[in-house]
């Protein structure tokens, strides 16, 4: 079957738009930008996030609680394989790593030194059904598949004054730069 140049170009555009959704998702989680995160899902989407299963609103509430006390968060988006099942439907498998740092609490303080942090890392894949509705590619169904997860002590991992640290709100350097560049 012959594919037209326009069809090939449209698929390149579609792939770019889907990957952009994945990157916005990572930014939304890491910066605590819940409206940005919400924009990566269709309103009726379902998310199976290992320990949470439900709607986008439920996911956001769960993430807010889960990230309470987290000093910083980083998601890295890796391999992203997009398979189209139709002009407006795709299966997307995206590899990720995520890492969160927080201050030790309770009994953790007995095994950590001043300046240490607690580090939680996860490695896995997002297996997503993407649909294009009203011209927008977004997730309609997500299954998080874990490959590895562990918690460790991050020696000297606590925040200090000498380093520019990522923030989980609009005081993050990214939002400052966006404000300067775009007036937002």
The pLDDT score that the predictor gives to residue 1 is 62
Structural domain including 29 reads: 5-182
CB 95 within 8 A of CB 125: yes
CA distance 122 to 168: 19
- The closest alpha carbon to 25, from 36, 16, 15, 17, belongs to 36
Domain count, the chain: 1
Q: List the structure tokens of 77.
A: 């988006």
152: its two tokens = 């460790």
pLDDT at position 158 = 87
Angle at 147 between CA 142 and CA 150, to 5 degrees: 110
pLDDT for the residue 159? 83
Of the candidates 100, 33, 50, 48, the residue with the CA atom closest to the CA atom of residue 71 = 100
> Is the CB of residue 177 less than 8 Å from the CB of residue 167?
no
- Maximum alpha-carbon separation in the chain: 67
What CATH number is associated with residue 72?
Answer: 3.10.450.50
| Tokens at 30, concatenated | 């890491």
Quote the pLDDT of residue 36: 98
C-alpha span between 14 and 180 (Å, rounded): 30
Q: What is the dihedral of CA 42, 48, 52, 56, to 10 degrees?
A: 0
Q: In this predicted structure, what is the pLDDT of residue 50? A: 95
pLDDT tens digits in sequence order for the chain, 184 residues long: 668 999 999 999 999 999 999 999 999 999 999 999 999 999 999 999 999 999 999 999 999 999 998 988 999 999 999 999 999 999 999 999 999 999 999 999 999 999 999 999 999 999 999 999 999 999 999 999 999 999 999 999 888 887 888 999 989 999 999 999 998 7
* Tokens, residue 179: 């404000």
Which of these, 102, 36, 97, 96, lies nearest to 72 by C-alpha position?
102
What's the pTM value of the predicted model, to 2 decimals?
0.93
pLDDT of residue 94: 98
């Amino acid at each position: 079957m012959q594919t037209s140049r326009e069809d090939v170009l449209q698929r390149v555009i579609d792939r770019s738009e889907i990957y952009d959704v994945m990157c916005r998702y990572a930014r939304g989680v890491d910066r605590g930008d819940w409206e940005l995160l919400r924009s990566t899902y269709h309103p009726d989407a379902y998310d199976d996030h290992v320990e949470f299963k439900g709607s986008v609103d439920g996911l956001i509430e769960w993430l807010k609680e889960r990230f309470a006390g987290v000093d910083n968060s980083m998601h890295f988006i890796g391999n992203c394989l997009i398979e189209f099942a139709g002009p407006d439907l795709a299966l997307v498998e995206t590899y990720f790593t995520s890492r969160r740092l927080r201050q030790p609490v309770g009994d953790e303080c007995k095994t950590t030194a001043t300046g240490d942090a607690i580090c939680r890392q996860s490695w896995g894949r997002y297996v997503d059904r993407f649909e294009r509705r009203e011209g927008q590619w977004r997730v309609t169904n997500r299954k998080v598949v874990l490959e590895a997860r562990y918690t460790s002590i991050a020696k000297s991992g606590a925040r200090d004054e000498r380093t520019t640290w990522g923030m989980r709100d609009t005081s993050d350097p990214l939002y400052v730069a966006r404000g300067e560049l775009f007036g937002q």
